[in-house]
Amino acid sequence: MASGFFAILDDIGALMDDVAATSKIATRKTAGILGDDLAVNAEKATGFLASRELPVLWAITKGSLLNKLIIIPVALALNVFLPVAIKIILILGGFYLAYEGAEKIIEYLFHRPKKGHEVIEERSTNGRDTERAKIKAAVTTDFILSIEIVIIALGTVLDKSLSIQILTVSVVALLATVGVYGIVALIVRMDDVGFRLIKHSHDKGWLAGLGHLLVSALPVVIKSLGVIGTIALILVSGGIFVHNIGYLHHFLPVLPPLLKEMVIGLVAGIIAVAVMTVGKRVFAKG
């Protein structure tokens, strides 16, 4: 009886060793997409009142966890019964990311900035609705990025047993959520930490200097993340198309891979924006 119990423990230990090894490989493979995920979601989790930053971030984090609870079993099932569906879902998700990135660029280049009183009026009348809309948009984008993360992680353990596949993908998904949104939380609270350091040091010494640095750096970080997040959306979408569409994989081989993904992602985004704009006008007339 005791020997059977210890044999089970030994099997569990061996399984955990295998999962640790495969999770390390899968995390390395998904490092690029995790970096893009961080940039995109940090940009989406900012722009709220200070009192709403953490509640909004927590709402997005819960949405991200729910996304992965949905995606993991579906991805595992599709991989067994209908593997071609994974590629189709990835390509559709790529168009969504490309649309978001191109829309931001077009908005910046061609749409007039709102006047001060228009912004104040919008915030006062539609503040909570705008917040809900941004949370929904962030969770939707996270859903697409989570599909990419889960499928890349799954691709590293296709030759392993089902139990190792499930545990590895789950570990990577959990690390992605906790890691990404933990770092985002630190970023959005930089100014609060800075103010506390200034207050604690009575605005004297190196602690006060560090506090002022954190406070003054936050707007720069937020603006930078907006740019990086937009570029990340285009690059991730371009990467999805290049790696899942054979023709595009071999298209323009003289271009560096990063530049090719950027060009393809941007073109796809412009096409998606044009289609959506025409579609909205048609439905509005109808």
Each residue's pLDDT tens digit in the chain (286 positions)? 445 544 554 555 555 666 666 766 666 656 656 666 676 666 666 666 667 777 888 888 899 899 999 999 998 898 888 888 888 888 888 888 889 889 888 888 886 555 544 444 444 445 677 788 888 888 888 888 888 788 878 877 777 778 888 888 888 888 888 888 888 888 877 888 888 888 888 888 888 888 888 888 878 887 787 788 788 888 888 888 988 888 888 887 888 888 998 999 999 999 999 999 888 888 877 6
Q: How far apart are CA 122 and CA 128, in angstroms?
A: 10
Tokens of 160: 């392993």
Domain ranges for the chain: 2-285
Q: 214-237 burial string, b = 16+ CB within 10 Å, else e? A: bbeebeebbeebbebbbbbbbbbb
Q: Do 241 and 265 meet the contact criterion of CB atoms below 8 Å apart?
A: yes
